[in-house]
Chain A
Amino acid sequence: MLSAGRSLSAKQTVRRLVCQSWCAKMFETLTERLQGVFRNLSRRGKLRPADVDTALQEIRLALLEADVHYQVVKDFLETVREESLGEDISRSLNPAQQVVGILNRELIVTLGEPAPLTLVGEKPRAIMLVGLQGSGKTTTAAKLARWLRGHGERVWMVAADPRRPAAAEQLKVLGDEIGVPVFFDPKLSPPNLCEAGKEEASKGGASVVILDTAGRSQLDQPMMEELRDIRDAIHPVEVLLVADAMTGQEALRIAQGFQEPLGLTGMILSKMDGDARGGAAISMRVVTGVPIKFIGTGEARDALETFDPNRLASRILGMGDLRGLYEKAEGSFDMDQAGQQAARLLQGEFTLEDFLEQLAMMRRMGPLGKLLEMFPTGFGGANLQVDGNVAERQLIRTQAIIQSMTSDERRRPDLLNASRKRRIASGSGTTVQEVNQLLRQYKQMRRMFKKAGKRGMTGLPFKLR
């Protein structure tokens, strides 16, 4: 019985609280939250235990919300606590940044170094993919095959899942798409099938053979024994657990349940293209001690990346993937050109042609939506308030408008009178209003760059610094 007179039902309370926490979570990074905690702390010296403990409460919430296992969080915080208390507050950082720094460092250590695939021994070397139903094994098998082929391997795949309807067909279609042979024989039991497949692959001159096994629960003993039989018959060089990045607290038991009977050599974290924080990776890494080797980042055949602990740590902490963003930017910008351009910009010589070039660079970095996802949550609310696809469409329209101008017009936008604007609007399939809007934006930017040139970077609004 609930006590009388409570104004809110339990359900309403829960709903209200969770909504609040969700909204709060969405607009605040952990650093910002900790800044709140440390607001009154301006001293230098060592961090005080009481301050650290308050901060650890916030960190605990963040980690649990990121689906890191309860016990793992507990152990982990103990380490961070000790580290934090031993550390002097550095001059350049505030205490919040410092604690997040320690946390980030510990996460990276826990997540472990990236480890390459161990491709040694007699060919063909077998890679066995295992995991729960729906964790992404078949898709990952094809992506991995493509990746390995890109690294000079001759790859075969074996469809070792006779259970799920059409699982073998799925692998065959994927194999056809990427030009990798697929072995399947519905008459054979999975261990025999794998053996026969490896033999065929060997005859076919394969250097690597990927075994796509059926999905199963780690609690299903007969099915786990089947995996052990496959392993014993094949002697794979790698036994990789494919695990869904969105997995919750059970990640620990799942990883343990595969590790114990099979002896995993690594893990692949799939479906990292959603917005899951991926805290499950920490739990699985801690309990198995085996490295995470790849992450799956989309449905495209090339959406498989080697694992980078720095990026995942930032993501778990809600700090975005700034490193990834930087790399993308680096890969897409012509630095010399950018440098020359920057010099001209700061002298106030920003033309619509420069604008067009910047838009083109931005689009070379990939879909805007993907870029926005790499920003930290709460980075001016960037990835929440801006819809990547809408922004992308806007970008294309803006490009079209500038491209509909003559080069004279691009260099001297003052030429644009009503009649020219009408021509541009109809040429680019937009309206005169949109052309005017673009010009307003352009003028704003030109003013900004000019200011920046005079005062140095401080003239820029914070977000652009």
Chain B
Amino acid sequence: MEGNRWRQALARTRRTAFGRLASLVGATDLSSAFWEGLEETLVQADLGIKIAQTLITDLKEISRAEGLTRGDQILERLHTLLLRSLEMVPNPEPEMRPLVIILVGVNGSGKTTSAARIAHRWLSSGDKVMLAAADTYRAAASEQLEIWGDRLGVEVITGQSGSDPGAVVYNAAQATLARDVDVLIVDTSGRMHTEHNLMAELQKICRVAGKVIPGAPHQVLLVLDATTGQNGLAQAQAFTDAVDVTGVIVAKLDSSARGGVGFAINSVLGLPIQYVGFGETLEDLSAFDAEAFVDGLLAESETVPRHEFPAPNPHSINSNS
């Protein structure tokens, strides 16, 4: 059912899987134009040129070994290859209570919205949820989370602007124990993965959580903007080096971007994608579904030729605003 919501969200902005590739397949044989078109599609999905080239080398080898001659056969194999590379399934949702989840990521990746949506998810499964606004740096970040808390009917622990985020986490963890909360979700400040001191601050946040609640944080989720390019790998690497990241949230997947760097992160660092975010409502966060993700990677968003500005595509009209 979740996959459906996700697919519907994508259908608004994308044509069916293999949209443009399907037209390449019209040519019967595996011409160099076919391979180049394939490379272009993979690169434009932000998989990165190295992964694209590796996939194509593998596909060429497979086509030789199996005597494949048609484009559609290759695309089938590509689909299989991509799915196999995504074999890393999301970690099962932890059973222990209280459960502490910390969201990390660069500035503007979508942490606060994701925090609210994760809170909604746990509420829906009957858990008592608390939010902690450990972003004491950005102006009005606590207010933003408090508004979400009001809408969700969830208590939000905040700190003074500019105060130590570790203290907010400490208070929130204490409150979690005192009020018998099941799930504590911590929203942290956006930080560039190249800022040594801010990464150290993140380590402290995790340590503080673990001091109050042994074993915490149980989940550390890296929130990644779907439009991010190859720098996403550097982000994932740096955050993984600093703290025990357990999974990735690919946010804003309903944009025209396909989030291919999420695939790259999964392949290179072995980090599972836990959730994908899209749309505008609290429900618009789905558990990761490899099949839907791969379909989305290869789907063609409305094709707009360069240097021309064609009329808006009626299929892309977003119905929810």
Contact = CB atoms under 8 A, between A and B. Distances in A.
Interface residue tally of chain A, by bracket? 35 or more
A314 B271 CA distance: 32
A164 interface: yes
B230 A67 contact: yes
What are the 5 closest A-B residue pairs judged by CB atoms, nearest first?
A248-B229, A134-B108, A67-B229, A173-B139, A165-B147
B110 interface: yes
A254 B256 contact: yes
Interface of B: 12-13, 40, 43-46, 48-51, 54-55, 58, 61-62, 65-66, 77, 80-81, 84-85, 87, 106-110, 137-141, 143-144, 146-148, 161, 192-194, 196-197, 225, 227-235, 252, 254-258, 260-261, 264, 267-268, 270, 301-302, 304, 306-307, 309, 312, 316-318, 321
A67 B231 CA distance: 8
Interface in A1-56: 1-3, 9-11, 13-15, 17-19, 21-22
Interface string A274-289: 1111011000001100
13 contacts: A14-B85, A18-B48, A66-B230, A133-B252, A134-B109, A170-B139, A173-B140, A217-B13, A219-B301, A246-B235, A249-B44, A369-B194, A388-B196
A373 interface: yes
Contact of A253 (B58, B62, B197, B304): B304
A248 B317 contact: no
Interface in A130-169: 132-136, 139, 164-167, 169
Interface in A271-314: 271, 273-277, 279-280, 286-287, 299
Given A135-B108, A248-B261, 6 more contacts: A1-B66, A11-B85, A18-B50, A21-B50, A221-B312, A248-B229
A132 B255 contact: yes
Contacts of B54: 13-14, 17-18
Contacts, number: 230
Contact of A219 (B55, B81, B256, B260): B256
A250 B107 contact: no
Contact of A244 (B49, B227, B254): B227
Which residue, of B13, B51, B140, has the highest number of chain A Cβ atoms within 10 A?
Answer: B140
Interface stretch (A255-263, A346-354, A403-411, A412-420): A255-263
Interface string A60-71: 110011110111
Contacts of B318: 217, 219-223
A18 B267 contact: yes
A17 B230 CA distance: 15
A171 B144 CA distance: 12
A180 interface: no
A387 interface: yes
B309 A259 contact: yes
Contacts of B258: 250
A71 B309 contact: no
A249 B46 CA distance: 6
Interface in A217-262: 217-223, 244, 246-254, 256-257, 259-261
A339 B321 CA distance: 65
Contact of A248 (B50, B141, B192, B230): B230
A1 B77 CA distance: 7
A389 interface: yes
Contacts of B139: 169-171, 173-174, 177
Contacts of B255: 132, 217, 219, 250, 254
Contacts of B40: 70-71
Contacts of B148: 165
A174 B161 CA distance: 12
Interface of A: 1-3, 9-11, 13-15, 17-19, 21-22, 60-61, 64-67, 69-71, 132-136, 139, 164-167, 169-174, 177, 217-223, 244, 246-254, 256-257, 259-261, 271, 273-277, 279-280, 286-287, 299, 369, 373, 387-390
A277 B231 contact: yes
B220 to A, nearest CB: 20
B312 to A, nearest CB: 6
Given A18-B267, A280-B229, A170 B58 contact: no
Contacts of B12: 219
Given A134-B110, A170-B140, A13 B225 contact: no
Nearest to A383: B194
A177 B138 CA distance: 12
A246 B229 contact: yes
A70 B44 contact: yes
A61 B106 CA distance: 26
Contact of B107 (A9, A249, A257, A271): A271
Contacts of A170: 138-141, 143-144
A3 B139 CA distance: 56
A201 to B, nearest CB: 21
A208 B309 CA distance: 31
Given A11-B87, A165-B144, A65 B196 contact: no
Contact of A256 (B44, B233, B234, B309): B309
Contacts of A17: 50-51, 54
Contact of A166 (B49, B144, B234, B304): B144
Contacts of A71: 40, 306
Contacts of A11: 84-85, 87, 267
Contact of A15 (B58, B234, B267, B316): B267
Nearest to A75: B306
A249 B229 contact: yes
B144 A221 contact: no
A220 B140 CA distance: 26
B144 A250 contact: no
Nearest to B143: A166
Nearest to B161: A173
A369 B228 contact: no
A389 B231 contact: no
Contacts of A173: 139-140, 161
Which residue, of A19, A220, A287, A373, has the highest number of chain B Cβ atoms within 10 A?
Answer: A220
B86 to A, nearest CB: 8
